[in-house]
Amino acid sequence: MLADFFKIKTGDILLFGITNEALGKHKFIVYLAKDNKLHVNAEFKKNKNDIYSCCKYYDRELCGSLEEYLKLTVLEIEEKAYGAFMDGAR
Amino acid sequence: MKFHESGDRKHKPMILMHGVLTPWQIWQPQIDFFKDNYYVVVPALDAHIEEEKSEFVSIEEEAEKIEEYVNNEFGGRVYALCGLSMGGKIANRIFERRNIKIDNLVLDGAPLVKGSAIAKVFMTRSYKLIVRKSKQRDKKTLENFKRDFLPEKYLESYLQFADTMSDTSIENMIGCVCNTGISPCENQNGTKILFMHGTKGNEVYSVKSARKMKKLYPSSVTVQRFDGCKHCEIALYYPEKWCGTVERFLNGE
């Protein structure tokens, strides 16, 4: 459903990543969100004109600033990405 | 485990099992739909009972309790055994153990395949945090819960059992889900199996599970795919569609 998706510009994306094989190789992006924090999203697709549609159900706040982001380890980012991917799991 | 029963005992028994952090009340629309033609039983799984504190020990123990109930109440035979997510994993385990006769097995979003050790660690930490913050009535956690997990009308029921849920129960639930895979068995009773799944995000685990079940029991398994749907979305947000799909399957249509 369209209401489940929000749009972000390619220019706001800091990282295109993929979780390691032990986590199932799931694609994720890290981007600057409207709340000026960095978020991770694990359910997205590219549209025309460099716009990405992201599903709001697979989105988590990663950290509050670029400075904090630079201090994160790969594993910490992957954990957040996997958490976003698994949101809603029962 | 606490059993909630609806309908007339003269009808065929149908059991509906919920998943992790999900109250038994999520099945109310299905109970209302099926109770005129089936004797509908909904267990509140251990660690999910509102009235009292209980511990989830293992999928095996949950399976044993369901089997004991079916043996005592229905002479060891259930017409339809349905499970959502982890409830589906328990239902499938009951099918594999072959201690009771199941005419129809309905699995929705059941993560039957194993998860990795690192996934288990991440999932356990995530669930512990959700439950801890729910106990504190953290506003953002509860908003996320309503957005990502369950319709708002089930929030109060969730909070009642979340308040008594222990870290050990969470470790045991995620441990069982991630550590155990499918144990192939002979489908000697001719159980018909319906496997429903969505396609978004973490439903990849359900997709893999459905494929494996179809490979193991090709003539018994029907796979119903809901394109563009997230984990258990049809059962929770569009129950009339879920009921229609299950009813057609049970009627052999």
Q: What is the pLDDT of residues A43-65, one digit of tens each?
A: 999 998 889 999 999 999 999 99
Q: Compute the 3-state secondary structure of chain B and give helix, strand, coil in percent, each to the nearest 5.
A: 50, 20, 35
Chain A partners within 8 Å of B111 (Cβ) = 89
- Position B136 scores a pLDDT of 97
Q: Which domains does chain B have, with CATH numbers?
A: 2-112+185-250 (3.40.50.1820)
Range B198-206 average pLDDT: 93
**A85 at the B interface (CB within 8 A)?**
yes
Q: What angle (nearest 5°) sits at the alpha carbon of residue B182, between those of residues B179 and B188?
A: 150
Say yes or no to pLDDT of A2 above 90: no
- Position A13 scores a pLDDT of 97
From B26-30, B56-60, B159-163, B187-191, the region with the lowest mean pLDDT: B187-191
**Cα–Cα distance measured from residue B225 to residue B237, given in angstroms and rounded to the nearest whole number:** 16
| CB–CB contact A82 B119 (8 Å) | yes
Chain A partners within 8 Å of B109 (Cβ) = 90
Q: Using CB atoms, pick whichever of B117, B147, B202 lies closest to residue A86.
A: B202
**A81 at the B interface (CB within 8 A)?**
no
Q: What is the DSSP string of chain A?
A: -GGGEEEEEGGGEEEEEE--GGGT--EEEEEE-TTSSEEEESSEEE-STTEEEEEGGGEEEEESSHHHHHH--HHHHHHHHHHHHHTT--
Residue with tokens 């109970």: B31
- Position A1 scores a pLDDT of 59
User: Tell me: the pLDDT tens digits for B214-236?
Assistant: 999 999 999 999 999 999 999 99
Q: What is the pTM (predicted TM-score) of this model?
A: 0.95
Whole-number percent of chain B with pLDDT over 90:
96
**Above 0.95 for ipTM, yes or no?**
no
Range A29-43 average pLDDT: 96
